[in-house]
Amino acid sequence: ELKAAFKPYNLLLTAAVAAEKSTVETAYEIDKIANHHTALYEHPQEDQYQITLNQNWSINYWIKQGMSKEKISMGSATYGRIFKLLNNSDRGNRLLSSGPGEPEKYTKEYGFIAYYEICEKLNNGQWISKYDDIQKSMYAYDEDTWISYDNIQTISIR
């Protein structure tokens, strides 16, 4: 009904869906929604569960379950996920965390940071930003915090 109501206005009906396999399997009936209209790749060190937590896997899983390629529209997040580092001396990617990062100035939510907050911290030199060439994704860190996020470069690749 909603799709029909949108049609005269050339509007698309889209859905932001989960990427994680267990959620996809339990939360969606793909065969019933296929008539309606999220790291990019896995890392070689990931286990069987972790290799399902990337956009490439997720999109291909939806296709294998019957979703038409033409009806998939991949969105880009304008936020990051922030974690508190377990070991302050570690730097780089694939680090151990002790849990979600502290709430930030504006978003005020554990483990979540808005893109404008990321930009603010990068621009004032609080964080060091790096590109992960394997997973085609950005991350940044300071003394005890690590975040993953997208920027113009990674969104263009997607």
**Which pLDDT does position 35 carry in this prediction?**
32
State the average pLDDT for the chain. 79
At residue 94, the pLDDT reads 59
Contacts of 72 (CB under 8 A, 6+ apart): 59, 62, 63
Is the confidence at residue 125, as pLDDT, over 90? yes
Last residue in a domain, options 22, 55, 71: 71
CA distance 3 to 81: 33
The model's pLDDT over 65-117, given as tens digits with 9 standing for 90+, comes to: 999 998 888 877 788 888 888 776 656 665 567 788 899 999 999 888 999 99
Co-location of 84 and 49 in the same domain: no
User: What pLDDT sits at residue 133?
Assistant: 86
* Residues 21 and 28: beta-carbon distance below 8 Å: no
pLDDT(31) > 70: no
Residues 9-21 have a mean pLDDT of: 70
Residue where a domain stops, chosen among 43, 71, 99: 71
Burial 103-131 (b: 16+ CB within 10 A, else e): ebeebeeebbbbeebbebbbeeeebeeee
102, 153: one domain? yes
Q: Specify the pTM.
A: 0.63
- The confidence score (pLDDT) of residue 38 equals 47
Domain that holds residue 114: 79-157
pLDDT of residue 41: 80
The reply to whether 63 and 85 lie within a common domain is: no
State residue 95's pLDDT score: 59
Query: What's the 3-state SS for the chain?
Result: CHHHHHHHHCCCCCCCCCCCHHHHHHHCCHHHHCCCCCCCCCCCCCCCCHHHCCHHHHHHHHHHCCCCHHHCCCCCCCEEEEEEECCCCCCCCCCCEEEECCCCCCCCCCCEEEHHHHHHHHHCCCCEEEEECCCCEEEEECCCEEEEECCHHHHHHC
128: domain CATH number is 3.10.50.10
Looking at residue 36, what is its pLDDT?
31
Tell which wins on pLDDT, 14 or 42: 42
